[in-house]
């Protein structure tokens, strides 16, 4: 009987030791996770989020949007509502195509989800300056259908050509813009960086509204000719794990509605 009691006590001690070890390991794991989350939030809020929130607070009379591509990964669209849990997202631009044969692998899913979750949506093409403009047009049109309420297509040009002159690049850009306008019945928007547009495009494309990327912390307001200002590439949006481009539309919801497509174009 004494031996049985001793064995029982030993088993209880072993059980308690194992339980204690598991408890300690669990608490360590929880602590590490909490530390990581806290560290990430503190790091993000120190510069980019603080700047973004402050800037948006200065433009409460305007509306805000995001633009996304496959680089944002899998998006939980049910959670996508606000920037930094404060400012509503009123429009979403989605990348569709790149160059003569590139296709964003998340386009169809994001394009459909943006509409299903009530966002005013738009689509953009990333223009590759060394590739043929006709082929880039043929890459875009078969993949993009527009419906009433969608925003105008956007041509994104950011890089300089290396295999052709700047003048030939401008001819290619003009052809893309003209053909897309003919097909969809709405004038496309031209996207570029502030310097690229001012130095190389402004004189040659005076009739196109522009979407300008400028992340300078010292710039606090839109220029009059900016239709949309992409003011940050480090935005925080719940439902999107990766950083997001943030944009201010230079107007109100009524102005945005006036830009939208009126007819369905397949």
- State pLDDT tens for residues 127-178: 999 999 999 999 999 999 999 999 999 999 999 999 999 999 999 999 999 9
The rounded distance, in Å, linking the Cα atoms of 70 and 89 is 19
Question: pTM for this one?
Answer: 0.82
CA angle (26 as vertex; 20, 32 as ends), nearest 5? 135
Closest CA to 231 of 250, 203, 253, 212: 212
**What is the rounded average pLDDT for all residues in the chain?**
89
What is the per-residue pLDDT across 74-103, written as a single tens digit (0 to 9) for each?
999 999 999 999 999 999 999 999 999 999
Contact partners, residue 168, CB within 8 Å, separation at least 6: 161
The span from the CA of 14 to the CA of 19, in Å, is 8
Spatial distance between the Cα atoms of 151 and 113, rounded to a whole number of angstroms: 15
Which residues are marked as active site? Answer: 67, 158
pLDDT tens per residue across span 54-76: 999 999 999 999 999 999 999 99
3-state DSSP assignment of residue 162: coil
**Burial group, residue 82, by CB count within 10 angstroms (0-12, 13-18, 19+):** middle
Q: Of 12-16, 155-159, 169-173, 193-197, give the lowest mean pLDDT range.
A: 12-16
| CA pair distance 202, 137, nearest whole angstrom | 22
Predicted confidence at residue 46, as pLDDT, reads: 46
Residue 38 predicted with pLDDT over 80:
no
pLDDT at 43: 47
Quick one: 52 exposed, middle or buried, by C-beta within 10 A (0-12, 13-18, 19+)?
A: buried
* Nearest by Cα to 246 from 198, 208, 214, 224: 214
Mean pLDDT, residues 31-39: 40
Please give the average per-residue pLDDT across 29-49, as a whole number: 51
Please say if the pLDDT value at position 240 is more than 90. Answer: yes
């Amino acid at each position: 009987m004494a031996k049985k009691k001793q064995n029982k006590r030993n088993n209880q001690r072993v059980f308690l030791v194992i339980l204690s070890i598991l408890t300690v390991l669990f608490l360590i794991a929880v602590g590490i996770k909490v530390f990581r989350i806290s560290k990430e939030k503190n790091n993000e809020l120190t510069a980019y989020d603080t700047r973004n929130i402050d800037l948006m607070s200065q433009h409460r009379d305007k509306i805000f949007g995001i633009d996304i591509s496959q680089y944002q990964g899998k998006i939980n669209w049910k959670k996508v509502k606000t920037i930094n849990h404060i400012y509503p997202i009123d429009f979403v631009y989605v990348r569709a195509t790149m160059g003569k044969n590139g296709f964003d692998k998340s386009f169809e899913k994001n394009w459909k989800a943006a509409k299903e979750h009530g966002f005013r949506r738009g689509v953009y093409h990333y223009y590759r300056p060394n590739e043929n403009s006709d082929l880039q047009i043929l890459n875009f049109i078969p993949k993009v259908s527009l419906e009433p309420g969608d925003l105008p297509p956007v041509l994104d040009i950011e890089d300089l050509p290396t295999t052709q002159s700047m003048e030939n690049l401008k001819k290619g850009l003009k052809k893309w813009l003209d053909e897309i306008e003919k097909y969809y019945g709405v004038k496309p928007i031209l996207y570029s960086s502030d310097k690229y547009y001012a130095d190389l495009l402004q004189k040659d494309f005076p009739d196109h509204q522009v979407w300008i990327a400028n992340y300078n912390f010292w710039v606090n307001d839109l220029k009059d000719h900016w239709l949309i200002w992409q003011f940050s590439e480090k935005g925080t949006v719940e439902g999107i794990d990766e950083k997001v481009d943030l944009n201010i539309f230079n107007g109100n919801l009524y102005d945005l509605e006036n830009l939208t497509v009126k007819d369905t174009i397949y």
